[in-house]
Amino acid sequence: MSKTRRDFLKLAGACACTVAASQLVGANAHAASAGHGPAVPQPGNQHEHALHGTHWGMVIDTKRFTDPLLVQKCVDACHLTHNVPKIDGPQELKWIWPANYLETFTEHNHYLPDSVEQRSFLLLCNHCENPPCVRVCPTKATFKRGWDGIVQMDMHRCIGCRFCMAACPYGARSFNFHNPRPYIDEAKMNPAYPTRMRGVVEKCTFCVERLAQGLMPACVEASDGAILFGDLDDPASTVRKALASKFTVRRKVSLGTEPSVYYII
């Protein structure tokens, strides 16, 4: 069978038309299924008892933290749950830690009452709505969960470049300069949660692993009600009620990162 050039061109034209037509149909179907506006990402299969929220937030009642033991209890609860190694000095690792007023807020007034200036403020990752750490991470190891606003870390992907540490205006991130294992008390190690390895950055995760099991974050549980946690998008949540009835501030709002952690002063 011999094909003329004419036959070949006809065939090629017909093929091109079919491809173009099928693409048009496909594109239309896609546009129809997407609906209006960008799709909100949804988490995968969950337990029924998991806690759900679309924007997790925290309200810390700083007036309640007059007892240094309560502060320590919250810090320990977090650090023991997540196997955070104990290293002193500039290479220390911390997910949540106490600081005084001057270290916490950049807006300073003269002659503050001592009770405020000397108060312990618990600091942690603010799970910013507009997180600079996520913007700079070259591997997307740090990312924002589209469905509940938590700024999460994928330790498998972190290359330890520490861009995120430079970007975070709150010092919420710590770097593992060493293998952390020798600095974790073997007897107190939580066998249900991994440690980290040398060369990765770590920070508070708002206890994603506990929320998935229907539990409140470890520090919230340890705080005897001094730390509230809930969905900022839900007007009936404990955090929203606290925000509506008490005066609160966030850290360094002028930077536009939109922290999700609020402090009752």
Partner 1 sequence: MYNAKYIMPGLVIFLGLITFPLWFNVLSCTRYEAPQLALPEDQQECIIDAKVMRAEHMTLLNDWRDKYVRDGEITFTAANGKIYDMSLMNTCMSCHTNKEQFCDSCHTKNSVYPYCWECHIAPRGNQ
Rounded to 5 degrees, φ, ψ at 27 are: -65, -40
By C-beta, is 203 or 210 nearer to ligand SF4? 203
- Window of 11-19, 64-72, 122-130, 144-152 that interacts with partner 1 by CB under 8 A: 144-152
By C-beta, is 107 or 186 nearer to partner 1? 186
Contact 50, 214 (CB under 8 A): yes
The yes or no reply on residue 231 touching partner 1 (CB under 8 A) is no
By C-beta, is 155 or 161 nearer to partner 1? 155
By C-beta, is 84 or 125 nearer to ligand SF4? 125
Rounded to 5 degrees, φ, ψ at 249 are: -130, 160
Instruction: Restricting to residues 196-225, name those near partner 1 by CB under 8 A.
Output: 196-197, 208, 212
Contact 262, 249 (CB under 8 A): yes
What are the angstrom distances between the C-alpha of 238 and each of 56, 67, 129, 152? 11, 23, 20, 23
Six token digits for residue 265: 């002063």
The yes or no reply on residue 126 touching ligand SF4 (CB under 6 A) is yes
Contact 218, 207 (CB under 8 A): yes
Instruction: Restricting to residues 199-238, name those near ligand SF4 by CB under 6 A.
Output: 201, 203
Question: What is the distance of C-alpha 179 from the center of its chain?
Answer: 24
Contact 262, 250 (CB under 8 A): yes
Question: What is the distance of C-alpha 254 from the center of its chain?
Answer: 20
- Window of 43-51, 117-125, 160-168, 221-229 that interacts with partner 1 by CB under 8 A: 43-51
At CA 259, angle to CA 256 and CA 265, rounded to 5? 115
Instruction: Restricting to residues 152-191, name those near ligand SF4 by CB under 6 A.
Output: 158-164, 168, 170, 172-173
Instruction: Restricting to residues 74-133, name those near partner 1 by CB under 8 A.
Output: 83
Six token digits for residue 59: 């309200």
The yes or no reply on residue 194 touching partner 1 (CB under 8 A) is yes
Query: Other CB atoms closer than 10 Å to residue 83's CB: what's the count?
Result: 21
Residue 159 interacts with, from partner 1, ligand SF4, none (CB under 5-8 Å by kind): ligand SF4
Residue 196 interacts with, from ligand SF4, partner 1, none (CB under 5-8 Å by kind): partner 1
By C-beta, is 174 or 195 nearer to partner 1? 195
Q: Name residues whose C-beta falls within 8 Å of residue 255's C-beta, 6 or more positions apart in sequence.
A: 169
Contacting residues toward ligand SF4, per CB under 6 A? 125-128, 131-133, 136-137, 139, 141-142, 151, 158-164, 168, 170, 172-173, 201, 203, 257
Contacting residues toward partner 1, per CB under 8 A? 43-47, 50, 83, 143, 145, 147-148, 152, 154-156, 179, 189, 191-197, 208, 212
